[in-house]
Chain A
Amino acid sequence: MSSVNTMTTAVLKFQSSVKKLSDNISSAGYDWNDEKHAALTGMVAEIASNAKGVMSTAEHMASRCREFDSVASQN
């Protein structure tokens, strides 16, 4: 299960990096507000959406791994 935790932690860390980038770009938007900034915001939103898809697959796999361990530990 440690590998499952490391795997989900890696995806969470990725999402956290996307969030940090998104926050930085948003805060820059107070001073920089044009179509280029909007494109950047859109780009980060797409990355966040893709990361969410990866997280969903990771959670799905983690759930199956928990079920596998539960079956394997039955006597």
Chain B
Amino acid sequence: MSYVDVNTDAFVKVREALRCFQSEISGFSGVISQETSGITEACEQKVHDQERVVSELKETKRLTEEALERIKRALEQENAEKERTEQSIHSLERELSDLEDELSDLYDQRSSVSDDEEDKEAARKERASIDREISAVKSQISRTREELSREKDNLDKIKAEIRRLEAEKNKTEEQLAKIKADLQRNEDKLAKMKDLLYYIKSDARELRAKAKNLEMDSSERTSHSKSCVEECIQYLDEYLNS
């Protein structure tokens, strides 16, 4: 085998390698472009999903805050009602005490009415008058006691409602604290995702440009090298045929 034959084989081998390389790298930048677009779209979708989570949590927070305000207003009303009822009970108790004193005075008056022979009729009339007053006061005491009993029952109900509202308020406040913490965590997560998406998009743009340049540059250089090798082969062919 001559030097020329050896070189011809080497040139052919390199020409084939260059052809094979060109074929293999063809479409490289297309794949990179497609995959980077797929990556950024998938990341954007995840950011949108996270934005929806944050938006839903904000709405839940708003509704919970409104519910808490309603409970607080109801508590204020119940506490005002409790105060009013306690004052009413206090007044009724004082009234009852006064009536009982009045009744006691009337009994004293009745027992002090003289029972002399000459004033018998007058004493009877006075006792009858006192008895009517006693009866009226007793009726008033009875009505006041009934009213007091109703007000006390009402106070018990108000107190029970206040306890229920307090428990609901505490529960809602705990829920709100949890929602706020959850919202903060998800807002932080969204901010991180948005930051990373910004850099991923920037990386994707850079990668697409680099891949396109690499493919074009490699293809051009390979074409040029193939031409050079072809020239060598042609030169050797001419030399051998001369």
Contact = CB atoms under 8 A, between A and B. Distances in A.
B200 A25 contact: no
Nearest to A40: B225
Contact of B31 (A6, A64, A74): A6
Interface of A: 3-4, 6-7, 10-11, 13-14, 17-18, 20-21, 24-25, 27-32, 36, 39-40, 43, 46-47, 50-51, 53-54, 57-58, 60-61, 64-65, 67-68, 71-72, 74
A32 B18 contact: no
14 contacts: A3-B42, A7-B35, A10-B31, A17-B24, A20-B21, A24-B14, A24-B16, A29-B10, A40-B228, A47-B217, A57-B210, A71-B189, A72-B46, A74-B189
Interface residues of B, number: 47
B200 A32 contact: no
Interface of B: 6-7, 9-11, 13-14, 16-18, 20-21, 24-25, 28, 31-32, 35-36, 38-39, 42-43, 46, 50, 189, 192-193, 196-197, 199-200, 203-204, 206-207, 210-211, 213-214, 217-218, 221, 225, 228-229, 232
B46 A25 contact: no
Contacts of B218: 18, 47, 50
A17 B211 contact: no
Contact of B214 (A3, A14, A25): A14
Contact of B207 (A58, A67, A74): A58
B14 to A, nearest CB: 5
A46 B18 contact: no
B39 A7 contact: yes
A24 B36 CA distance: 32
Given A28-B13, A50-B217, A68-B200, A21 B21 contact: yes
